[in-house]
Amino acid sequence: MDEVMLNFSPASLRLLNSILAVVMFSVAIDLTPANFMELLRRPKPLIAGFLAQFAVLPALTFALVWVTQPQASVALGLILVAACPGGNISNFFTQRAGGNAALSVSMTGLATVGAILLTPTNIAFWGSLYEPSRQILRETHIDPVSVAITVGLMLVLPLVLGVTLNTRRPDITARLRGPMQWISMGIFVAFVLAALASNWGYFLQFAGGIAGLVIAHNALALLGGFGTARASGLSAFNTRAVTIETGIQNSGLGLVLIFGFFHGLGGMAVVAAFWGIWHAVSGFALSQLWRRREAAR
């Protein structure tokens, strides 16, 4: 598995970059600077979510890798996914779960900006602690500046544009909001399914062995978010947002980094692809469970 390179053309990578930018823009048109100012006045939920995302989850991921001792590319795939910011569908699931959707959207925005520095840092730090994956990192040149530029163009620029449009022309964003969210997610899902179809043989060959790890990893992410929120004394309303935000990772960004910097290394790509499917399943299930009970604020 560590020697398998999946089929993914430069044109496909550019298309995925564009799709993720559109998805981020669809989230950003829900935001205004006031959202960030309110959280700056009461920062505890935002700080708890940020720590759960970029400190607790990577540490739990390394513990999982240390205990299970997977192949190098699989381990690095898990570490890379954990180093990514929250996925955009977390906002949708938080709203369905009766959690603080404004907090969720703001966490997505803050994590997206933080990812410029923290995503390459976490990949390098945690990946180097596991000897098999350290070898891959030695053989792969990851330029933090290139990663920062990739994240900036895909996520931060659409975020700024979306917030700016929503601030200056809320009449336009009010019309765009609903259709953009469904269209952007539909395009992203269709792209992932098409990418899986073109590599279906590899996926069938390796996904079975990886599925259990990904499911366990996602469960740890959700538990890590929940535990961090409760330990911080957050209300149930905010805890639901932090839990889902930590358990829904931007696996699309993970795929871009894997194909852009690791040449589509098989174990890493299968992990990210399976994450993209499973976190949607777990997020939907958890939101359905929570929506039956109103969250205390």
- List, for residues 226-255, the tens digit of each pLDDT value: 999 999 999 999 999 999 999 999 887 888
Q: pLDDT averaged over the chain?
A: 83
- What per-residue confidence (pLDDT) applies to 12? 66
- What per-residue confidence (pLDDT) applies to 198? 65
Higher pLDDT, 156 or 168: 168
* Look-up of token digits 């505890």: 44
In the numeric block, which tokens belong to residue 179? 């259709």
pLDDT tens by residue, 268-291: 888 888 887 788 888 888 988 998
Query: Which CATH topology does 10-290 take?
Result: Na+/H+ antiporter like fold (1.20.1530)
**Residue 69 region, left (φ>0) first, then alpha (ψ -120 to 50), else beta?**
left
Higher pLDDT, 34 or 233: 233
pLDDT tens by residue, 10-33: 666 677 777 777 877 877 787 778
- What per-residue confidence (pLDDT) applies to 8? 58
Mean pLDDT, residues 178-207 taken together? 71
Residue 196: which pLDDT band, with cuts at 50, 70 and 90?
A: low
Mean pLDDT, residues 176-194 taken together? 75
Reference 247, options 209, 285, 192; nearest CA is 285
- What per-residue confidence (pLDDT) applies to 68? 95
CA distance 111 to 242: 12
- What per-residue confidence (pLDDT) applies to 195? 66
Greatest CA separation found in the chain? 54
Question: 151: which residues sit within 8 A by CB, 6+ positions away?
Answer: 112, 115, 116, 119, 253
Residue 115: which pLDDT band, with cuts at 50, 70 and 90?
A: confident
- What per-residue confidence (pLDDT) applies to 15? 73
Residue 7: which pLDDT band, with cuts at 50, 70 and 90?
A: low
CA distance 89 to 286: 13
Ranges 64-68, 99-103, 167-171, most confident: 64-68
- What per-residue confidence (pLDDT) applies to 122? 93
Output the pTM of the full model: 0.82
The region of weakest confidence among 102-111, 178-187, 219-228 is: 178-187
The region of weakest confidence among 64-78, 123-137, 195-209 is: 195-209
CA distance 280 to 270: 16
- What per-residue confidence (pLDDT) applies to 44? 92
pLDDT tens by residue, 75-93: 999 999 999 988 777 877 8
CA distance 15 to 10: 9
